[in-house]
């Protein structure tokens, strides 16, 4: 029935050179494999991962039109970041985040005065990991709240569930300017808490102009003074899931403005 070739019923992978005995299926008159070598398994897993990422990226872009990011941050990179006194620690932390992304379990929280490079470094992380194929989403928190409000309108093409699922499902979520503006009870209950609670076990990066005490108070009460996070559940999750760094650098935007004034 078969040729007298001892290797006819053997499959050999051209990459790892592993030999696997094949099985002949008479109805189909074909040889088949009962198992695959490690190379084939890895390629199959990689293809499945890429397919999953394409799907999640497509869903995310439908909801967020890629991300809510201003033009300046769209151009941010590690190469264009200008280190200054006080930014050394956050700069190293951002670079280390890229190097250890696959194995690390925590995200980053950069807090400090406005204009000192927190958002620039977070955007640089976002762009680099996005380039590596990860599904990354960068959201300005005040704009996120506006989008969520729009999603509740009857004529909206997206709904609030789409917004939350998109933010939860990405590989890396960056929430820029957490603590900006006045928090409303509905924004906390319907948007912020579901997103951060749903991302437990996933990496999330956050920037804030508030220090830790101020951020805790911002999450504790809404703009009307109503208690919305009595037990501090969300703030506790932030402390547990993020490595926290104080960016003590001064405002580069202010320094640039002063230089322009002096030159004028």
Question: Considering the domain boundaries, does residue 40 fall inside one?
Answer: no
Question: Considering the domain boundaries, does residue 75 fall inside one?
Answer: yes
Question: Considering the domain boundaries, does residue 160 fall inside one?
Answer: yes
C-alpha angle 49-50-55 in degrees, rounded to nearest 5: 100
* Residue 239: CATH number of its domain: 3.40.50.300
Question: Considering the domain boundaries, does residue 39 fall inside one?
Answer: no
CA dihedral 66, 162, 136, 111 (to 10 degrees): 100
Reading the block at residue 53, the tokens are 């990422």
| Domain, as residue range, for 220 | 66-263
- Region for 117 from its dihedrals, namely left if φ exceeds 0, alpha if ψ lies in -120 to 50, beta otherwise: left
DSSP SS3 for 42: helix
Q: What is the DSSP string of 219-233?
A: HHB-TTS-BS-TT-H
| Average pLDDT, integer, range 111-130 | 95
- Tally of domains in the chain: 1
Place of tokens 């009962």: 34
Question: Considering the domain boundaries, does residue 196 fall inside one?
Answer: yes
Question: Considering the domain boundaries, does residue 14 fall inside one?
Answer: no
Question: Considering the domain boundaries, does residue 70 fall inside one?
Answer: yes
Per-residue pLDDT tens for 137-164?
999 999 999 999 998 888 888 899 999 9
Per-residue pLDDT tens for 187-222?
999 999 999 999 999 999 999 999 999 999 999 998
Say what the pTM is.
0.79
* Cα–Cα distance measured from residue 109 to residue 215, given in angstroms and rounded to the nearest whole number: 11
């Amino acid at each position: 029935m078969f040729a007298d070739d001892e290797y006819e019923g053997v499959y050999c992978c051209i990459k790892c050179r592993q030999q696997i005995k094949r099985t002949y299926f008479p109805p189909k008159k074909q040889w088949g494999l009962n198992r695959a070598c490690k190379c084939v398994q890895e390629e199959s897993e990689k293809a499945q991962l890429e397919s999953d990422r394409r799907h999640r990226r497509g869903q995310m872009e439908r909801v967020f039109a890629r991300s809510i990011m201003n033009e300046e941050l769209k151009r941010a990179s590690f190469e264009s970041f200008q280190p200054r006194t006080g930014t050394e620690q956050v700069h190293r932390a951002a670079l280390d985040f890229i190097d250890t992304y696959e194995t690390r379990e925590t995200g980053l929280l950069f807090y400090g005065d406005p204009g000192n490079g927190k958002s620039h470094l977070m955007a640089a992380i976002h762009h680099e990991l996005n380039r590596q194929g990860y599904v990354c989403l960068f959201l300005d928190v005040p704009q996120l709240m506006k989008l969520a409000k729009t999603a509740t309108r009857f004529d909206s093409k997206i709904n609030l569930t789409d917004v939350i699922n998109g933010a939860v499902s990405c590989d890396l979520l960056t929430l820029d300017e957490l603590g900006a503006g006045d928090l409303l009870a509905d924004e906390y209950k319907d948007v912020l808490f579901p997103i951060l609670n749903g991302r437990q076990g996933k990496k999330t990066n956050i920037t804030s102009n508030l220090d830790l005490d101020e951020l805790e108070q911002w999450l504790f009460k809404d703009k009307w003074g109503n208690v919305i996070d009595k037990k501090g559940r969300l703030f506790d999750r932030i402390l547990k899931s993020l490595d926290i760094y104080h960016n003590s650098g001064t405002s580069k935007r202010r320094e640039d403005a002063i230089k322009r004034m002096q030159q004028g």
